[in-house]
């Protein structure tokens, strides 16, 4: 799904990564118009197994639910990470490449923002040479962090290997804010450019807090993009 800003390009672009939703259409409607209104071309990727790409692979949420029921949490986590750093990230990389070739998009100003599993994908993309200028991870692995050493270790590795600036953000009432604080430690120790912020509680509980990267665009966008896409200082 694409959302074009008003005016004449070339525009900077945001590729937005959804979480584990079987149908992320509502998510893209929430973020797409809001970000496009700020002058960014927005591309929302229906990754394989989800909504418009449902015929391309089994749905990831359904697979993970079945694996947990049959085998438990650790096999579920291993499968999830393998899918995220493999075919799911391949879909995001294809969208970034498409953006870079689009005549209305500035290939030097392409960003990846994601929430939940989309935040995990932002971190995994940051360690690869995909042509991104920066990425923002909202709530990546917040629902898995305290229960899964596999997720913690993989996310920490991605932080250490990051090639681009990364903004780490969460609402204070997310399921866990440890991903932001612990990944900030990794970025700091390795001297990589980053910013981390725990925003005030959003909504009325952890579900609302976890969705802050989707429904809280008006609260975070200017701050996030000021870090990732600062105004040119050239005369």
Range of the domain at 188: 2-228
**Any domain includes 100:** yes
Instruction: Tell me the C-alpha distance between 61 and 156, whole Å.
Output: 23
Q: What is the reported pLDDT for 28?
A: 92
**Any domain includes 235:** no
**Any domain includes 16:** yes
For 195-221, how does the pLDDT look when each residue is reduced to its tens digit (9 = 90+)?
999 999 999 999 999 999 999 999 999
Q: What's the token pair of residue 189?
A: 């120790």
DSSP readout, 164-199? S-EEEEEETTSS--HHHHHHHHHHHHHT--EEEEEE
The helix/strand/coil state of 99 is helix
**Any domain includes 208:** yes
Q: What is the reported pLDDT for 231?
A: 83
- How many percent of the chain have pLDDT more than 90? 82
Q: What's the token pair of residue 58?
A: 């089994």
**Any domain includes 234:** no
The helix/strand/coil state of 26 is helix
**Any domain includes 98:** yes
Instruction: Tell me the C-alpha distance between 161 and 128, whole Å.
Output: 8
- Least reliable range by pLDDT among 43-57, 92-106, 168-182, 203-217: 43-57
Q: What is the reported pLDDT for 57?
A: 76
CATH number at residue 171: 3.40.50.1820
In angstroms, the Cα distances linking 41 to 44, 103, 186, 223, 226 are 10, 12, 31, 18, 17
**Any domain includes 233:** no
Paired sense of beta strands 134-138 and 105-115, if any: parallel
CA pseudo-torsion sign 105, 224, 122, 70: negative
Whether the full predicted model's pTM is greater than 0.85, yes or no, is yes
Q: Average pLDDT, whole number, for the chain?
A: 93
**Any domain includes 119:** yes
Paired sense of beta strands 105-115 and 166-171, if any: unpaired
Cβ–Cβ under 8 Å, residues 187 and 218: no
- How many percent of the chain have pLDDT more than 70? 97
For 50-92, how does the pLDDT look when each residue is reduced to its tens digit (9 = 90+)?
877 768 878 887 888 899 899 988 999 999 999 999 999 999 9
The tally of domains found in the chain comes to: 1
């Amino acid at each position: 799904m694409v959302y074009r800003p008003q005016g004449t390009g070339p525009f900077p672009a945001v590729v937005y990564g959804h979480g584990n939703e079987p149908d992320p259409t509502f998510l893209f409607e929430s973020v797409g118009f809001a970000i496009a209104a700020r002058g960014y071309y927005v591309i929302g990727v229906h990754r394989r197994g989800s909504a418009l790409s449902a015929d391309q692979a089994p749905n990831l949420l359904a697979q993970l639910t079945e694996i947990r029921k049959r085998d438990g949490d650790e096999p579920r986590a291993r499968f999830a990470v393998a899918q995220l750093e493999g075919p799911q990230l391949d879909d995001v990389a294809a969208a970034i490449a498409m953006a870079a070739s689009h005549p209305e998009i500035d290939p030097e100003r392409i960003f990846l923002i994601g929430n939940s599993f989309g935040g995990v994908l932002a971190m995994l993309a940051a360690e690869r040479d995909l042509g991104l200028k920066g990425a923002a991870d909202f709530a990546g692995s917040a629902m898995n962090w305290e229960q899964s050493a596999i997720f913690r270790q993989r996310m920490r590795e991605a932080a250490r290997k990051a090639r681009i600036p990364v903004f780490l953000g969460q609402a204070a009432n997310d399921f866990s804010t440890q991903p932001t604080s612990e990944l900030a430690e990794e970025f700091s120790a390795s001297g990589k450019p980053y910013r981390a912020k725990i925003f005030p509680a959003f909504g009325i509980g952890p579900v609302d807090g976890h969705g802050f990267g989707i429904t809280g665009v008006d609260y975070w966008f200017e701050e996030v993009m000021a870090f990732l896409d600062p105004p040119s200082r050239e005369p």
